[in-house]
Amino acid sequence: MTGAVTRQQVEDFLFQEAALLDEWRLDEWLALFEAGATYEVPTTDRPNEDPSRSQYYVWDDYELLTARVRRLKSKHAHAENPHSRTRRLVTNVRVGELEDSSLPVRAAFLIYKIRDGNVDQFVGRYEHILTANGDGLRFRKRRAVLELEVLRPGGRLSFIL
């Protein structure tokens, strides 16, 4: 990809990602990350703290992210077997300035997670860093920040936020 990245290109990327997650196509989802990329979810009481100094809900380096995907594909990932139904609404997309192949992207999300008679809602914002190299967009850092005060009800991030 050369030159400016448009919001439409970023939205297409995020909407396609949401579809892959809602359909539990996790190998294809993992392929959206560049090698060495991270996935992080800070706690609700320290949304802006650095993960090396603060407990996080999720702080995956690429190896742990790969392990997370491998786990979620197993029928022994009991928390998601059977899989939750999810529907992700991704909106309010804002694209920052491309710098050294890093593209900051902000968006809002609302995720409905449905399982066992419960409908849980997870609302928050994405603070991603994408890369825009020759072959399209990829995640360099995928960061989901919850607006919830407490992860309640449904206190598990067993799915991908």
Partner 1 sequence: MTQATTAPQVGLRGRRSPYVFEDWDARIFRVSREVFRSEEVFARERRVWDRVWLYLGHETEVPKPGDFKIRTLAGRPLIFSRDSTGQVRAYLNSCPHRGTILCRETEGNAKTYQCFYHAWTFANTGELVGIPDPGAYPPERGFAAQMGLRPLPRFENYRGFVFVSFALTGQSLREHLGDARDYIDLMADHAADGLEVIPGTHLYGIRGNWKLAVENAMDGYHFSPTHVTFVEYLKTTGYVTSDEGGRAITLQNGHSVLVFSGHGGRVGMQWEPRFGEAERLRVEENVRRLAARVGEERAAQVSHTSRILYVFPNLLLFDIEGLAARQLEPIAPGITDVRAWELGPAGESDAARALRIRILGSFIGPGGLATPDDVEAYECVQRGVVATAGDPRPEVDWSDISRGMEREARGEPARNVDEAGIRGFWRHWDDVVTGTSA
By CB under 8 A, name the binding residues for partner 1: 41-46, 49, 51-59, 61, 64, 67-68, 70-71, 74, 76-80, 116, 118, 149-158, 161
In the bound state with partner 1, the residue whose beta carbon lies nearer, of 74 and 133, is 74
The residue among 109, 155, 130, 154 whose CA lies nearest residue 38 is: 130
Tell me the closest approach of the beta carbon of residue 41 to partner 1, in angstroms: 6
Residue 62 has a CB neighbour count (10 Å cut-off) of 15
CA pair distance 18, 90, nearest whole angstrom: 8
Tell me the closest approach of the beta carbon of residue 126 to partner 1, in angstroms: 16
Tell me the closest approach of the beta carbon of residue 7 to partner 1, in angstroms: 29
Q: Does residue 9 contact residue 17 with C-beta atoms inside 8 Å?
A: no
In the bound state with partner 1, the residue whose beta carbon lies nearer, of 13 and 29, is 29
In the bound state with partner 1, the residue whose beta carbon lies nearer, of 134 and 152, is 152
Tell me the closest approach of the beta carbon of residue 10 to partner 1, in angstroms: 25
In the bound state with partner 1, the residue whose beta carbon lies nearer, of 77 and 108, is 77
Separation in Å, CA 76 to CA 32, 54, 159: 25, 30, 14
- Cβ within 8 Å of residue 124, ≥6 positions away: 108, 109, 144, 145, 146, 147, 148, 161
